[in-house]
Structure 1
Amino acid sequence: MGSDLLLIWLKFAHVGSIALWSAGLICLPVLYAQRKALVDEPLHRLHNFTRLFYIALVSPAAFVAIGSGTALIILQGTYENWFSAKLFAVSIMTGIHIFTGLTILKLFEPHKSYPLWRMVLVITLTVIVILTILTLVLGKPRLEWPEFFITHFSPGKLREIASDLTGGWK
Structure 2
Amino acid sequence: MVAGLKYLHLAAMLCWCASLVALPLLLHFYGQIWRGKADSSQTQARYAEFRLITHFGYVGFATPAAVIAIAAGTGLIFADQVFDLWFVAKLTLVAGMALVHAWIGHLILTSGEHRGLQNMPSALWALVLGLPLMMGVLWLVLAKPDLAWVADWMPDFMLAPRGQSVGQP
Q: TM-score if structure 1 supplies the norm length? A: 0.80
Q: Summarize the Cα distance change of 1:75–1:155 in structure 2 as closer, same or farther, 3 Å threshold.
A: farther
Please list every run of 5 or more consecutive structure 2 residues that lacks an aligned counterpart in the other structure: 36-42, 165-169
Write the distance in 1 (CA, Å) between the matches of 2:21 and 2:122.
12
Q: Which residue of 2 aligns with 1:54?
A: 58
Residue 69 in 1 paired to residue 73 in 2?
yes
Residue 132 in 1 paired to residue 136 in 2?
yes
Write the distance in 2 (CA, Å) between the matches of 1:114 and 1:20.
29
TM-superposed CA distance for 1:102, in Å, is 1.1
Residue 35 in 1 paired to residue 31 in 2?
yes
Q: Percent identity?
A: 26
- Cα RMSD (Å) of the superposition? 2.4
Deviations 1:80-130 (A, max 9, x none): 111110010000001111111111111123453369x82433212211111
Match of 2:150, SS? Answer: coil
Asked whether the equivalents of residues 86 and 137 of structure 1 are also in contact (C-alpha less than 8 Å), the reply is: yes
How many residues of Structure 1 are paired with residues of Structure 2 in the alignment? 153
Q: Which residue of 2 aligns with 1:3?
A: none
- AA at the equivalent of 2:158: F
Structure 1, 85-94 or 147-156: larger mean CA deviation: 147-156
Deviations 1:104-161 (A, max 9, x none): 111123453369x82433212211111100110000111122445353434655x9xx
Asked whether the equivalents of residues 21 and 58 of structure 1 are also in contact (C-alpha less than 8 Å), the reply is: yes
Match of 1:141, SS? Answer: coil
Write the distance in 2 (CA, Å) between the matches of 1:50 and 1:92.
21
Q: TM-score if structure 2 supplies the norm length? A: 0.80
Q: Which residue of 2 aligns with 1:11?
A: 6
Q: Which residue of 2 aligns with 1:167?
A: none
